[in-house]
Amino acid sequence: MLFLAVFCGFLAEYKLEHVIEHQREKEYANALYEELLADSVSFSNKLNARLEKEKDCDYLWSYIKDSSLTDLPKEFYPAYTTVFYLINSYSFEPKDGVLSQLKSSGSLRYFKSPALQKLFGDISVCINNVRYRNEQEYQFFANPIKPFMLKHYDFKWPDDLRKRDPNAYYLDLIREYRKGDTVIKANILNLASFHKDEAANMIMFYKTMMSSSRSLQMSDYIKTNSRLLSELRKNYNLK
Amino acid sequence: MLFLAVFCGFLAEYQLEHKIEKDRAEELAKSFYHELKNDSATAVIKVQNRIKQEEAIKYLIKYFKDSSFTSISKEFAINFAYGINFRTPSLFEPRTIILEQLKNSGSLRYFKNEELQQLIGDLTVSIKNIYDRQELESQNRLQYINPIIIDHYDYDFDARLKEGGKSIFEGIKKYEASKEIFPFQMKGAKKIDRERIINVLSFFEAAVISSTRLTFIQKYMELNEELLKELRNKYHIKD
């Protein structure tokens, strides 16, 4: 009887461990699902903003190549600002809090499905690749964009724009400015040393870099994110 | 009797712990094996892309040595793209999610085999070396290669490659296979410093791109192969 009691206790502990592991697996799956879902929403906002910025690159490129730079139209400075001045608003930083926790705590082993495990590896690579591209874009901003801006960009323009609403985001202010009739005048500074060809090529280089990040690394990330969401939904009945 | 029962319970728990550890080691070995297997295929592709890039740079060096820029060949334009314009195809981002989990959670201890532990240590070093090398490649690119692109690349040619919404990679492949010729004009052809460009490209090809492949990626591939073999032997994993 006593042996049976000890044996039952042992079995119960064994079973309990399984139950706890299963519960943790579900909790982690849920947390990871929420994290990935939030990221997919944030991704779609960034994607739209980046597409707008790429259009601004095209506009700026053709304007600089073919038009007079002494009397700038209203459309010039908003595009000049979004392309060269606003950098952080366009970078997509994937969240990986839960994934990092899974990696660091050894809890990935709760997920037995080979498909899920492969997707975890894939998403981790995708996140690193997106971060690497962000770093590359930032480096390009640091040089050559920043020195170019310091020489040729009129910082009075964003300052005047900011006066319209000191607490608003620049992107929103620019959106409103584009819709309205008011014109904030500004020029290209040091026009005599402004090289059209170089500036135009710098814009296209930057655009190519941005669109490559979007169509390669960011696109890979969102595809993997979506596959992972679907796999998690399938395995854990998540809604 | 009571003592015996408690002692048996203790023995059973001890045995259970062993079993759990063994099961975990098998689970981790399997996941790790698949992670490595995926990466070995990726590494082969990256090596092929690097070889193509190296060949393209060699072509460019030769062209800069003795050819005219008044009428640029189709081959030059294609090699310009493969040699210095593209960066993503040669970048190798190893999957490390299971490896990180093994290290961070202390699960490496499940692998009792010394050789396996040694190989995992070596693999970690080789991955870090690849990251360092790729960082160095990026710095080199930022400082020396990007200025060549900004000063001399023809973005009208680039736009033609991407006509119809094609990615640059699809565009160049299609162009390569076709008999069509898109004009490519070197921007700032008059101020090309041939000697400097030849030196920059020679350094980039020999000391940067190919040396990463021949030393660091090669080492990673060898270790990856050894680890796969060891995991197959030790845990009877089948492909």
What's the mean pLDDT in A137-154?
95
CB B127 within 8 A of CB B96: yes
Chain A hits for B155, Cβ within 8 Å = 61, 200-201, 204-205, 208
Our CA-based measurement puts residue A178 at a distance from the nearest CA of chain B, in whole angstroms, of 27
Q: Which DSSP string do the residues of B111-174 spell out, in sequence order?
A: ---HHHHHHHHHHHHHHHHHHHHHHHHHHHIIIIIHHHHHHH--HHHHHHHTGGG--HHHHHHH
DSSP line for B52-115: HHHHHHHHHHHHHHH--SSS--HHHHHHHIIIII--GGG------HHHHHHHHTTGGGG---HH
Residue B9 · residue A10 · CB < 8 Å:
yes
Confidence of residue A228 (pLDDT cuts 50, 70, 90): very high
Query: Across the A/B interface, how many CB contacts are shorter than 8 Å?
Result: 116
Helices A114-140 and B97-104 cross at an angle (nearest 10°) of 100
Cα-only R_g, chain B: 26
Contact A114 B105 (CB under 8 A): no
Q: Tens digit of pLDDT for each residue in A38-67?
A: 999 999 999 999 999 999 999 999 999 999
Q: Name the band, by pLDDT with cuts 50, 70 and 90, for residue B15.
A: confident
Please indicate whether, in this complex, the C-beta atoms of A10 and B9 are within 8 angstroms of each other.
yes
Q: Among B115, B110, B116, which Cα is nearest to B18's?
A: B110
In this prediction, residue A103 has a pLDDT band, given cuts at 50, 70 and 90, of confident
In this prediction, residue A209 carries a pLDDT of 95
Percent of chain A with pLDDT over 70: 100
Q: How far is CA A161 from CA A167, A175, B222, in A?
A: 11, 11, 58
Which residue in the block uniquely carries the two structure tokens 């960034």?
A46
Long-range Cβ contact pairs of B61-70 (< 8 A, separation 24 or more): B61/B198, B61/B201, B61/B202, B61/B205, B64/B192, B64/B194, B64/B197, B64/B198, B64/B201, B65/B194, B65/B198, B69/B186, B69/B189, B69/B192, B70/B189
Specify the DSSP element, H or E, that contains B33: helix B2-66
Which residue from A120, A136, A197 is facing B138, i.e. has the nearest CB?
A136
Q: Looking at A18-22, A60-64, A140-144, B59-63, which range is the least confident one?
A: A18-22
Number of Cα atoms under 13 Å in the Cβ half of residue B157: 24
Q: Which residue has the tokens 């040619």?
A: B157
* ∠ Cα B92 B96 B97 (to 5°): 135
Q: Is B98 on the interface with A (CB under 8 A)?
A: yes
Query: Over 90: is that where the pLDDT of B20 sits?
Result: no
**Percentage of chain B modeled with pLDDT above 90:** 77
Q: How far apart are CA A53 and CA A216, in angstroms?
A: 17
Give the nearest partner residue to B97 out of A120, A205, A208, using CB atoms: A120
Shortest Cα–Cα distance, B55 to chain A (Å)? 23
- Tens digits of residue pLDDT in B140-166: 999 999 999 999 999 999 999 999 999
pLDDT given for residue B222 in this prediction: 97
Q: Do B104 and A124 touch (CB under 8 A)?
A: no
Residues 199-218 of A with CB under 8 A from B: 200-202, 204-205, 208, 212, 215-217
> What per-residue confidence (pLDDT) applies to A99?
93
What is the amino acid identity at position B44? V
Contacts of residue A136 in chain B, CB cutoff 8 Å?
138
At B87 the pLDDT is 93
pLDDT band at A221 (very low <50, low <70, confident <90, very high): very high
Range with lowest mean pLDDT among A50-59, A69-78, B6-15:
B6-15
C-alpha A54: how far from chain center: 15
Residue pair B127/A186 in contact (Cβ under 8 Å)? The answer is no
Answer positive or negative: Cα dihedral of A154, A155, A158, A159.
Answer: negative
Of the candidate ranges A105-119, A218-232, B209-223, the one whose mean pLDDT is the lowest = A105-119
- pTM to 2 decimals? 0.87
Of B24, B106, B142, the CB nearest to A109: B24
At residue A13's C-alpha, the angle toward residues A7 and A16, to 5°, is: 140
Residue B27: its pLDDT value, please?
86
Length of chain A: 239
Task: Flag if A204 and B1 touch (Cβ within 8 Å).
Answer: no
- Taking CB atoms and an 8 Å limit, are A201 and B150 in contact across chains? yes
Half-sphere exposure for A109 (CA within 13 Å, toward CB):
25
Among A1, A3, A6, A120, pick the best mutation site for testing chain B contact (most B Cβ within 10 A): A6
Overall average pLDDT of the A106-133 stretch: 91
pLDDT tens-digit map of B169-190: 999 999 999 999 999 999 988 8
**A10: pLDDT confidence band, cut at 50, 70 and 90?**
confident
Phi, psi values for residue B91, rounded to 5°: -80, 130
pLDDT tens per residue across span B89-129 = 999 999 999 999 888 888 888 888 889 999 999 999 999 99
Cα distance between residue A224 and residue A206, in whole Å: 26
Conformation bin of residue B188: beta by default, left when phi > 0, alpha when psi is -120 to 50: left
Task: Please give the ipTM for the structure prediction.
Answer: 0.81
